[in-house]
Amino acid sequence: MLGRAQPDAALSHAHTVFGGPMIALPPGGLRNMKWREVMDAVRRRVFAARHDRKDFGAAVVIGRELERKRITSELHDGLGQALTLIKLTIEDARIRLRGGRTLEARELLDAAVIRICEAIGDVRQICNELNPVLLERLGLVASLASLCARVDERVENLSVRFDCGVQDAEVPGNLRADIFRVAQEALTNALRHGSAKTIDVRLHCTEHGLSLAIEDDGVGFDTLCTATDPDFDGGLGLIGMKHRVEAAGGTFVVQSSVTGGTLVSAIWSV
């Protein structure tokens, strides 16, 4: 079993050259490390070197590696198991067909079709997480509208409003994926952590630039505590959003308090 010292040692070997990020992970990358240990190491490194762009960049790249690990396990544990089950069900149906038990075989095949449909849905979801297809097909504004509508429909007692004052042509191509990802993460946080009843997503061109805001009326949180507590047990969502926005020259701000409500905003001069 890996000790705590090893992920730290691995991280200290990650070299970053900013301005064309170049990260060399240790041989074997993070493959052999336990998820929890890697997350702890990343968090310690981020807190220890918050003001050092080089280490911050390394932590973000490792965060991406973690994301790949998560998707691999979704493919392996989720989709892999679903396909195995489908194969077994069809084999079972074949045996029954050979024995002349057509009714039973038909029921099994019906069940297999339902499972195949579920697996297709899983594949779509995984692909969409990797690369929002909607974004390329529909464009940013329609994709955001569709994201908001989907969350609004799927979650009971929640209202998601989308207020948009821009057209796709006004949004530089390099910012589209960033805007979509920030909105997606902030919406997820509002639901998962805030238990919000109302979420407002706003995208506008202002005198200061292109402005994105996601505001929820959920439980809120202590941003100071989250930013300074080295034992904070959260993920890399807020850090990832900040890095994304700042890497494209924007400004990222999170306002929240334990009395309730969270406002995530990003602004890019265009």
Ligand X SMILES: Nc1ncnc2c1ncn2[C@@H]1O[C@H](COP(=O)(O)OP(=O)(O)O)[C@@H](O)[C@H]1O
List 7, 57, 63, 194, residue binding ligand X (CB under 6 A): 194
CB of 89 to Mg ion, least distance (A): 36
List 62, 86, 238, 245, residue binding ligand X (CB under 6 A): 238
The stretch among 61-69, 186-194, 248-256, 258-266 that binds Mg ion (CB under 5 A) is: 186-194
Q: Does 56 bind ligand X (CB under 6 A)?
A: no
List 16, 220, 245, 267, residue binding ligand X (CB under 6 A): 220
Q: Does 184 bind Mg ion (CB under 5 A)?
A: no
How does 222-246 read in b/e, with b if 16+ C-beta sit within 10 Å? ebeeeeeeeeeeebbbbbbbbbbbe
Q: In sequence order, what are the beta bridge partners of 268?
A: 210
Cα-based distances in Å from 170 to 42, 156, 232, 242, 269? 37, 34, 39, 22, 12
- Given phi > 0 = left and psi -120 to 50 = alpha, else beta, which region is 17? beta
The angle, 0 to 180 degrees and rounded to 10, between the axes of the packed helices 102-130 and 80-98 is: 160
Count of residues in contact with ligand X, rule CB under 6 A:
16
Q: Does 63 bind ligand X (CB under 6 A)?
A: no
The stretch among 28-36, 71-79, 165-173, 188-196 that binds Mg ion (CB under 5 A) is: 188-196
Q: Which does 203 bind (CB under 5 to 8 A by kind): ligand X, Mg ion, none?
A: none
The answer to whether 158 and 196 have CB atoms below 8 angstroms apart is: yes
**Structural tokens at position 39:** 């997350």
Residue ranges that bind Mg ion, judged by CB under 5 A: 189, 237
